[in-house]
Amino acid sequence: MKILPGRRANPPALAVEPPKSPWGQGDDSSGSGPRNPWAVPPGGRKAGQRPTALDEFLKKARGGGDGGPGGGGFGGLPGGANARALWLIGAGIILLVWVLWTSIHPIAPQERGVVTRFGRYSETLAPGIALTLPAPIANVVKVDVQNIRVEDFPEGGGENLMLTRDQNIIDLAYSVRWTIANPEDYVFQIDKPRETVRATAESAMREVVANVSLDEALGPGRPIIEAQVQERMQKILDDYKAGIRIAGVGIKQADPPARVNDAFKDVTAAQQDAQGARNQAQSYAKQIVAQAEGEAAQFDKVYEQYRLAPEVTRRRMYYETMEAVLAKSDKTIVETPGVVPYLPLSQGRKLPEANGEAPATTVQAAPAQGGSQ
């Protein structure tokens, strides 16, 4: 072979060769190399041989269906009357499950079911198993009407300062208990029931505290404040048609602000001491007055006797007075004339000593002068 001048042969590395299939030449009849499994075998398909299921699937996946009765269905699935029947049965089962799931409603004993039909109130279901139209035609909202909800003020602790009638500041902590009285009003009339109750409680409590003094808020006025706040809250919520019933209001703590609490305690202690001293003085005054009134009443009785018999009353008063005076003395007076009785002087001296008193002198009186008084 001659090489023409000016022309060079392509090197083997740069030679362009046609791409080779990993299955070899599809039309290679010599049988050399691997055969493409998707190609038609040499010599064509045998007569009377039906296509395999794999061939049918690949044909339908490639969109090569003939569109006849046995043509491919949606997504490569088999089509035809049988496929449509299966689709209808599946849709019917799903629809039946949906209807049963949204039409049967078990209502607990403490619950009530508020039924809305096309978004509008229809009825209220009692406890038990209830049937309604399926969603989205009818919807049921279950409401617990027996649960007592509690709101604490202030929420999370801290100070809750309020102003009293006498321009004093008080730190007040309280709680509000409420339940649902009307389920349909509760569901439809207010958007945020809990926030509404809290705002109403704050407003009512501040209004009531502003009309009482500090001493009333700290002590005996608590029950009155609680009753007034409950009444005020119920009136406001009824005006809102909230369907809420206030079960009670309880004041848990009523103290002055923390910055002046110590000084306030000192003032309270001083007031209590002053009140105690005042009560003691009043008790002593009442005792003295009662004693004086008793003595005056006794004098009036004696005066009545003296007015009726002055001489006898005067003598009796003299004897009673001398008896009272001599009862406290250890002296012995003898008035019998000419008789000197035996006096146990040693015993007379020992008696006062036995009683813890100083011994006194026993005097023997001179003879009587004949009926002297």
Q: What is the pLDDT at residue 61? A: 57
pLDDT tens digit string along 60-95? Answer: 656 544 444 444 454 555 555 677 888 889 899 998
Strand boundaries in the chain, DSSP class E: 104-107, 111-117, 120-125, 128-131, 138-144, 149-153, 161-163, 169-180, 244-255
Residue showing tokens 């146990």: 344
Q: Which residues pair with 162 in a beta bridge?
A: 170
Task: Report in angstroms the alpha-carbon separations of 110 from 84, 142, 143, 145, 146.
Answer: 48, 10, 8, 6, 6
Q: What 3-state class would DSSP assign to 4?
A: coil
Does residue 142 or residue 305 have the better pLDDT? 142
Please name the helix (run of DSSP H) or strand (run of DSSP E) that holds residue 269, with its range, or none. helix 261-308
Q: Is the dihedral angle over the CA atoms 144, 146, 147, 152 positive or is it negative?
A: positive
Q: Quickly state the pLDDT bin for 142 (edges 50, 70, 90).
A: very high
Q: What is the DSSP string of 324-359?
A: HHHTT--------TT------HHHHHHHHHHTT---
Q: List the beta bridge partners of residue 248.
A: 177
Q: Are 176 and 202 in contact (CB under 8 A)?
A: no
Contact predicate 130/109, CB 8 Å:
no
The pLDDT of residue 78 is 52
Instruction: Identify which has the larger pLDDT, 81 or 130.
Output: 130
Tokens of 133: 């139209």
Name the pTM for this structure: 0.52
Q: Which two tokens stand for residue 168?
A: 């004093």
Work out the pLDDT band at 368, boundaries 50, 70, 90.
very low
Can the peptide bond before residue 154 be classed as cis, meaning omega within 30 degrees of 0?
Answer: yes
Higher-confidence residue: 322 or 180? 180
What is the Cα–Cα distance from 62 to 40, expressed in whole angstroms? 17
Distance separating alpha carbons of residues 75 and 60, to the nearest angstrom:
9
Reported as a single tens digit per residue, the pLDDT across 21-38 is 555 554 444 555 555 555
Q: Which of 154-158, 316-320, 353-357 has the lowest mean pLDDT?
A: 353-357
Strand partners, 149: 178
What value does the mean pLDDT take over residues 279-298?
92
* 143, two tokens: 């409401």
Domains parsed from the chain with CATH numbers: 102-143 (no CATH), 149-256 (3.30.479.30)
